[in-house]
A and B are shown apart, each in its own frame.
Chain A
Amino acid sequence: MTWLPRALIGPGLWAVGFALVYGLHGLGCALGWSTQEVAGMTLHRLAMVAAWVGTLLACVVVVMWLPGGPDPTRRLPRIGAWIGLGATIFTLLPLLVATSC
């Protein structure tokens, strides 16, 4: 029965990462992080990129940790992990270009 919760890990990671980055965006704009420069980018963008990369790494770890195989109870959790990874890449990709505040 653990496979059903396991299938939720990937998309769940996306949800956490997405909410985290969006929350950091609101917080950073309110606290004026977008005017502080750190390591070639604003503190604001740095915080969001760090959260993004962290989520991506977590997704990659889950993809590698989950066992593979043709059985649906193994396939679905892995597909879930790929969904999490793909969604995290795609939905937060604009982080690299768009204007922050």
Chain B
Amino acid sequence: MTDTVAAEGVGDATLDIPANPPRRALGLHRELSRVWSNDRGWRGQVTAVNHTTLGLRFMATALVFFAIGGVLAMLIRAQLATRQGAFLDTELYNQIFTMHGSIMMFLFAIPMLEGLGIYLLPKLLGTRDMAFPRLTALGYWCYLFGGLILLAALAAGVAPRDGWFMYTPLSSAEFSPGINADVWLLGVTFVEISALAAAVEITVTILRQRAPGMRLTQMPLFAWYMLGTAAMMLVGFPPLILASVLLEVERAFDWPFFDVARGGDPLLWQHLFWMFGHPEVYIIFLPAAGAISTILPALCRTSILGYGGIVAAILALVFLSFGLWVHHMFAIGIPHLALTFFSAASLAVAVPTAVQVFAWIGTMWKGRPELALPMLYILGFFLTFVMGGLTGVMLAVIPFNWQAHDTAFVTAHLHYVLIGGFVFPMLAAAAWWMPQITGRARIRGLGEVAFWVILIGFHGTFFVMHLTGLLGMPRRIDVYPDNPEWEVLNLTSSVFGFVMAIGLALFALDLVLQATMGQRAGRNPWRAPTLDWAMSLPAPTFNFASLPGPRQVAEAAPDRTALALARGEGLLPGAPRGQRELLVTTAADARPDHVAVLPGNTALPLVLSASIGAFVLLMLAGLYALAPVALVAVAALAWRWHRGLATLAAGGAMVAVAPRLALPVQPGRGRSLTHSGGVALLVADGTLFAALIFGVAFLHVVAPGWPPPPAAAETATGAVLLVALAVGLGVAALAAHVTEARQPAGRSLAGWAVLGLAGNGAALLALALLAGWVMDDPTAHARDALRGVLAGYVGLHALICALMAAFVLDQIRRGEVPTSGAPSGWRLWQDFATATGLVAVAVVLGTAAVA
């Protein structure tokens, strides 16, 4: 077994933390269970914030949506099996293919990878939970409620029907009356809250909660892949959220962002959508590749070949995948030179992918591959994904794209990439981690049959579909009466589609049988070298009775580690203070920094997401005047959320982690998990703002219908108010800085906090005056609509910062020692609000000057 020690664990020789004395494992287990367990009964379902519970719940819910999306796919295949399919009418067919794509992307793939990360990461990294347990729960509820809104619309026959990429003007109020498109825009955006929440806490958990001694350069590759995924989600989702907000505002309030007659441009939607949409493919692929990089070497009884090369490939993919989006838009009439940039970038992105594929095959050469069930799925992945990658390379070639774009060839390609690159690895991951999740061994036979049925069904469905597309069949048609030459091909796809569905049903049956009837699995049945197996199975809610340290990380021998940790020989054993505690380490070297206290079970995430859901439903119902009431509830709940954090961290004592090692509960300034999370969230927020500025520039330069008629806004009053806005935000930023810098002093801070409140208030007043007196009607032209959005963006942030200043003022009144969580949160957000506010003012003044 010496050869299983490798990249995963060389450890940090300079970091030596002595072991705690061993205790009775059962006593420790009970002590921790009292603190970490979910509440009993139905209450426990509602208040759970634990990552194991929520990770599994994310994945189980995603599988239900996968089944629903699969049934929709079968309806599509039934309709297309014959030329004159009379099975569905066109309206229903359009709703079904739109929902199939939307469900598979937003309600299956993304939540599935979030669930996998949330479940696995704390276990792989040697910690007890994600950084923000309540945020995990909030994400889950937003996902569930958003998904249910979409499903309810499908059941009621008012589901979205404009295709999963919702091209406007087809999805505009004029050509898509009714609430179908609103369901998509509001429902999917609601679900995206969970994507951002997961991205924030995955980033922070990987960077700040690795076991001491697990350097970034030695952490399991799965964590690298998830770090790349989370970073991409932080930057990839904001353009989609912005686009959805803009289109919803256009539909609801007639602000013309995409209407050519009034200075808008439908191509702005396409750019924003695909700025998200292409990175999305890699967001889905990276976690799957992470699973392969974890499973494959273990099943070959060796270590991964080319750890450094793979990390470099992830780095390249994270960046390059943001330079391909225009290849979805090759046929919109963009000049050839611009197309060739994106064609070259689309080809270039195949290089890091090839690096990974060859590193994996080299790993198999290096070791002795064992043909277990996960390996079968990995082989299915290789076959399918390589073919999908090659058709992707073909589609990157512009002339061929002009022919194949929007045909069944693309449908075939994307299913090869997504099923090959995500579903097959996820099936491998399920087979691999099911013993970890259930503590039970698989029943032999059924899984292998399911694999072959799925593989044959898949290729039978989609291989011929390439030819169907080349023979001219476009996407999204429901009948083809004049084209008998497509009929045999479509019938073949339909028949094998049902074969594939049967295979997936067998797979699901296998999972259920294993979970209910499988024999107990031994600890670490695969002899894997990672920490996720260094615990009793199924995993306890707290994962580790004591946390792994440099020694356990270096050993990479989960069997031995599990015993030592269960007996409390690791760090921070048990829960002697009756609270949920874990170790926070430094980002690169994983040196112990402080002990974080996490919040316990609470229904607050559920109530908060229900309030957001109320806002969404009020918007859907067209009750625009009532919708802000829901937002007041959201703000009040957010306040309570923050209070919870302030009281948790109020202790401030030193905590014994190991002999001769005590750490503070109170982190140094800017080192708390909350601070790291705030930075991550502001990266996403900043990307949203950048996308908005891109929108302004794009419409100014490219859209027909410019320049607009001269605006009244360019008056002296307007300029004065803009200056007032900037000054107000500047004063608030000064106040936030002083408050943070003088934090320990305490008494004299109240005046500064009031000043911060006043500065933000002045900014809001200036915005209100601008909106009421000076600004032009936002429905008149895209320029005025964009200014309205900029004002709304700045106003929202000034409001948030005003609330944060008020929160700090309240803390001073209560006489609490200002925790670094609250005031530094204000300073961080105030800096951001002031910076974006100044940019917005400059953009408005600059564009006015150019005009």
Q: Are A and B in contact, CB atoms below 8 Å, in the complex?
A: yes
A-contact 0/1 string along B617-649, CB 8 Å cutoff: 000000000000000000000000000000000
User: In the complex, which residue of chain A has the Cβ closest to the Cβ of B326?
Assistant: A22
A-contact 0/1 string along B325-360, CB 8 Å cutoff: 000000000011111110111011000000000000
B335, A29: Cβ atoms under 8 Å?
A: yes
A83, B315: Cβ atoms under 8 Å?
A: yes
B323, A18: Cβ atoms under 8 Å?
A: yes
Task: For B345, list chain A residues within 8 Å (CB).
Answer: 18, 87, 91
Sample of 23 A–B contacts (CB below 8 Å)? A1-B587, A14-B323, A15-B322, A18-B323, A25-B338, A30-B701, A76-B311, A79-B308, A83-B312, A83-B315, A83-B319, A87-B319, A87-B320, A87-B323, A92-B341, A94-B337, A95-B337, A95-B341, A98-B337, A98-B340, A99-B336, A100-B335, A101-B335
Task: For A18, list chain B residues within 8 Å (CB).
Answer: 323, 341, 345
Chain A nearest CB, measured from B562 CB (Å): 28
Q: What is the CA–CA distance of A27 and B850 in the complex, to the nearest angstrom?
A: 14
Task: For B348, list chain A residues within 8 Å (CB).
Answer: 87, 90-91
Q: What is the CA–CA distance of A11 and B323 in the complex, to the nearest angstrom?
A: 11
Q: What is the CA–CA distance of A76 and B320 in the complex, to the nearest angstrom?
A: 17
Chain B nearest CB, measured from A15 CB (Å): 6
CB contact under 8 A between A15 and B319, given known A21-B341, A29-B335, A100-B337: yes
Q: What is the CA–CA distance of A76 and B313 in the complex, to the nearest angstrom?
A: 11
Q: What is the CA–CA distance of A73 and B311 in the complex, to the nearest angstrom?
A: 12
Partner of B312, one of A1, A22, A80, A87: A80
Q: What is the CA–CA distance of A18 and B342 in the complex, to the nearest angstrom?
A: 10
Chain B nearest CB, measured from A59 CB (Å): 13
A-B residue pairs, 9 tightest by C-beta: A94-B340, A11-B319, A72-B217, A98-B337, A1-B588, A91-B345, A79-B312, A91-B344, A98-B340
Task: For A15, list chain B residues within 8 Å (CB).
Answer: 319, 322-323
A99, B335: Cβ atoms under 8 Å?
A: yes
User: In the complex, which residue of chain A has the Cβ closest to the Cβ of B701?
Assistant: A30
Partner of A90, one of B308, B311, B344, B697: B344
Q: What is the CA–CA distance of A68 and B322 in the complex, to the nearest angstrom?
A: 28
Chain B: interface size category? 20 to 34
Chain B nearest CB, measured from A22 CB (Å): 6
A11-B315, A90-B344 given. 9 additional CB < 8 A pairs?
A1-B587, A12-B319, A23-B697, A25-B335, A26-B338, A72-B308, A76-B315, A87-B345, A99-B335
B338, A22: Cβ atoms under 8 Å?
A: yes
Q: What is the CA–CA distance of A90 and B586 in the complex, to the nearest angstrom?
A: 37
Chain B nearest CB, measured from A31 CB (Å): 8
B319, A3: Cβ atoms under 8 Å?
A: no
Question: Does A93 reach chain B (CB closer than 8 Å)?
Answer: yes
Q: What is the CA–CA distance of A15 and B312 in the complex, to the nearest angstrom?
A: 16
A1, B337: Cβ atoms under 8 Å?
A: no
Question: Does A4 reach chain B (CB closer than 8 Å)?
Answer: yes
User: In the complex, which residue of chain B has the Cβ closest to the Cβ of A94?
Assistant: B340
B-contact 0/1 string along A20-60, CB 8 Å cutoff: 01110111011000000000000000000000000000000
B337, A25: Cβ atoms under 8 Å?
A: yes
B217, A76: Cβ atoms under 8 Å?
A: yes
Residues of chain B from 659 to 697 with CB closer than 8 A to chain A in the complex: 697
Task: For A91, list chain B residues within 8 Å (CB).
Answer: 323, 341, 344-345, 348
A4, B311: Cβ atoms under 8 Å?
A: no
Q: Which residues of B contact A (CB under 8 A)?
A: 216-217, 308, 311-312, 315-316, 318-320, 322-323, 335-341, 343-345, 347-348, 586-589, 697-698, 701-702
User: In the complex, which residue of chain B has the Cβ closest to the Cβ of A82?
Assistant: B312
Q: What is the CA–CA distance of A29 and B333 in the complex, to the nearest angstrom?
A: 13
Chain B nearest CB, measured from A65 CB (Å): 18
Q: What is the CA–CA distance of A64 and B43 in the complex, to the nearest angstrom?
A: 60
Residue in B216, B337, B697, B702 with the greatest tally of chain A CB atoms within 10 Å: B337
A22, B588: Cβ atoms under 8 Å?
A: no
Task: For A100, list chain B residues within 8 Å (CB).
Answer: 335, 337
Task: For A93, list chain B residues within 8 Å (CB).
Answer: 344
Question: Does A63 reach chain B (CB closer than 8 Å)?
Answer: no
User: In the complex, which residue of chain B has the Cβ closest to the Cβ of A71?
Assistant: B217
Question: Does A62 reach chain B (CB closer than 8 Å)?
Answer: no
Task: For B318, list chain A residues within 8 Å (CB).
Answer: 11
Chain A nearest CB, measured from B700 CB (Å): 9
A1, B319: Cβ atoms under 8 Å?
A: no
Q: What is the CA–CA distance of A27 and B697 in the complex, to the nearest angstrom?
A: 10
B701, A94: Cβ atoms under 8 Å?
A: no
Q: What is the CA–CA distance of A76 and B316 in the complex, to the nearest angstrom?
A: 11
Q: What is the CA–CA distance of A98 and B343 in the complex, to the nearest angstrom?
A: 12
Chain B nearest CB, measured from A85 CB (Å): 12
Task: For A101, list chain B residues within 8 Å (CB).
Answer: 335, 337
Q: What is the CA–CA distance of A12 and B315 in the complex, to the nearest angstrom?
A: 10
A73, B217: Cβ atoms under 8 Å?
A: yes
Task: For A99, list chain B residues within 8 Å (CB).
Answer: 335-337
User: In the complex, which residue of chain B has the Cβ closest to the Cβ of A93?
Assistant: B344
Task: For A27, list chain B residues within 8 Å (CB).
Answer: 701
Chain B nearest CB, measured from A20 CB (Å): 11
B315, A94: Cβ atoms under 8 Å?
A: no
Q: What is the CA–CA distance of A93 and B337 in the complex, to the nearest angstrom?
A: 10
Task: For B319, list chain A residues within 8 Å (CB).
Answer: 11-12, 14-15, 83, 87
Task: For A94, list chain B residues within 8 Å (CB).
Answer: 337, 340-341, 343-344
B323, A26: Cβ atoms under 8 Å?
A: no
Task: For A92, list chain B residues within 8 Å (CB).
Answer: 341, 344
Task: For B586, list chain A residues within 8 Å (CB).
Answer: 1
Task: For A26, list chain B residues within 8 Å (CB).
Answer: 338, 698, 701-702
Q: What is the CA–CA distance of A95 and B335 in the complex, to the nearest angstrom?
A: 12
Q: What is the CA–CA distance of A87 and B322 in the complex, to the nearest angstrom?
A: 12
Residues of chain A from 1 to 20 with CB closer than 8 A to chain B in the complex: 1, 3-4, 7-8, 11-12, 14-15, 18
